[in-house]
Amino acid sequence: MIPTQRRDYLLELLDRQSVLTISELTDLLGVSHMTVRRDIAQLEQEGRVLSVSGGVRLAARFRHEPAWQEKTTASIEHKEAIARRAAAMIHDGMSIYLDAGTTTFAMARLLTEHNDLSVVTNNFHISALLAQYPHIELFHTGGRVNHENYSAVGPSVVEFLRQVNVDIAFLSSSSWHLERGVTTPDESKILVKQQLLQIASKSVLVADSSKYGRFGMFRACALEDFDLIVTDDRLAESAREAIIERDIALDTVTLTAPRTADEPKEVPWP
């Protein structure tokens, strides 16, 4: 088989079994480990598959946003590390936006010692936390309540955001993908995220790597629209390389051993 036929067959095999190991694919395709890895890297750059430990799976369609309680128990250490890295960008006197999400909530807990800080949010957990600190100027967007995620969504949020400017907007997402960008199955969130990119001097996506390779029906923006993406070091090497090749600024927070010299370097904060 020529490479295109082989990659098409690889996708057919994944359609049947969802996840396959490298060893299984070398047997099924009758090629070397190196060839299989090259095919996976090509398909991953096209946004059709996602590398997992020791194998590969199809890029996943994301049909329902998880509820807040479900999010609070997933990837806790990684989210906190991402939150620390993102919070380090914030200084006294800034105005910032914190999107609804458990990573941005972790960021909010790190901001209580700041002075002369203005925070805009659509999340009720974040606003309830920061309302206890009168030295922080706090604005809630209002809008229709999304009960599962304790946030406000819809055109009323967009109308409020048109009246403000922020230094940095920290956006969250339950699905991000190199080719499909930041997406969501909830149409009411699209205009909110798009408006944030317009009102912010800088925009940062904070999303752990378990959400990479997933996509929902509605597209908010491309990854190139962000000034920086902060994620964790579980992101597959092929995904890191593909993102950096697009000149997208990427910061992967290391929780384990330091990177080796031959691994791709993250682009620094612009």
pLDDT band at 66 (very low <50, low <70, confident <90, very high): low
Mean of the per-residue pLDDT values of the chain: 86
- State the Cα–Cα distance between residues 74 and 187, nearest whole angstrom: 24
**How many residues in total does the chain contain?**
270
Look at residue 265 and tell me if it is in a domain.
no
Given a cut of 60, is residue 217 above it in pLDDT? yes
Q: Domain count of the chain?
A: 2
Structure tokens belonging to residue 82: 């991402």
Instruction: Kindly state whether residues 215 and 193 are assigned to the same domain.
Output: yes
Instruction: Kindly state whether residues 107 and 44 are assigned to the same domain.
Output: no
Look at residue 258 and tell me if it is in a domain.
no
Q: Which domain holds residue 171?
A: 68-253
Region 154-183 average pLDDT: 93
Look at residue 268 and tell me if it is in a domain.
no
Instruction: Kindly state whether residues 91 and 201 are assigned to the same domain.
Output: yes
Q: Kindly report, residue by residue over 161-172, the tens digit of the pLDDT.
A: 999 999 999 999
Look at residue 19 and tell me if it is in a domain.
yes
Domain stop point among 58, 84, 104: 58
Instruction: Kindly state whether residues 118 and 217 are assigned to the same domain.
Output: yes
What pLDDT, on the 0 to 100 scale, is given for residue 31? Answer: 92
Which DSSP state fits 236?
A: -
Report the 3 state secondary structure along 88-123.
CCCCCCCEEEECCCHHHHHHHCCCCCCCCEEEEECE
> Biggest alpha carbon distance in the chain?
67
Q: Kindly report, residue by residue over 80-97, the tens digit of the pLDDT.
A: 999 999 999 999 999 999
- Beta-sheet strand order (sheet of 55-58): 19-21, 55-58, 49-52
- State the Cα–Cα distance between residues 75 and 210, nearest whole angstrom: 8
Instruction: Kindly state whether residues 167 and 97 are assigned to the same domain.
Output: yes
Instruction: Kindly state whether residues 141 and 40 are assigned to the same domain.
Output: no
Look at residue 242 and tell me if it is in a domain.
yes
SS3 180: coil
Look at residue 10 and tell me if it is in a domain.
yes
Instruction: Kindly state whether residues 88 and 172 are assigned to the same domain.
Output: yes
> In the chain, what percentage of residues exceed pLDDT 90?
56
Q: Kindly report, residue by residue over 116-151, the tens digit of the pLDDT.
A: 999 999 999 999 999 999 999 999 999 999 988 889
Check if the beta carbon of residue 210 is closer than 8 Å to that of residue 234. Answer: yes
Q: Which residue from 52, 225, 66 is spatially nearest to 149, judged by alpha carbons? A: 66
Residue 4: what residue type? T
* Higher pLDDT pick, 53 / 198: 198
Given a cut of 90, is residue 191 above it in pLDDT? yes
Instruction: Kindly state whether residues 23 and 79 are assigned to the same domain.
Output: no
pLDDT band at 18 (very low <50, low <70, confident <90, very high): low
Look at residue 264 and tell me if it is in a domain.
no
Q: Residue 22's domain is classified under what CATH number? A: 1.10.10.10
Q: Partners of 100 in the beta sheet?
A: none
- State the Cα–Cα distance between residues 262 and 38, nearest whole angstrom: 18
Instruction: Kindly state whether residues 106 and 173 are assigned to the same domain.
Output: yes
Look at residue 63 and tell me if it is in a domain.
no
Given a cut of 70, is residue 262 above it in pLDDT? no
Helix-, strand-, coil-residue percentages of the chain, each rounded to 5 = 40, 25, 35
Q: Kindly report, residue by residue over 94-122, the tens digit of the pLDDT.
A: 999 999 999 999 999 999 999 999 999 99
Given a cut of 60, is residue 152 above it in pLDDT? yes
Q: Residue 179's domain is classified under what CATH number? A: 3.40.50.1360
Given a cut of 60, is residue 30 above it in pLDDT? yes
Instruction: Kindly state whether residues 24 and 101 are assigned to the same domain.
Output: no
- State the Cα–Cα distance between residues 217 and 206, nearest whole angstrom: 20
Whole-prediction pTM: 0.75
pLDDT band at 48 (very low <50, low <70, confident <90, very high): confident
Instruction: Kindly state whether residues 89 and 182 are assigned to the same domain.
Output: yes
Instruction: Kindly state whether residues 12 and 120 are assigned to the same domain.
Output: no
Region 4-23 average pLDDT: 84
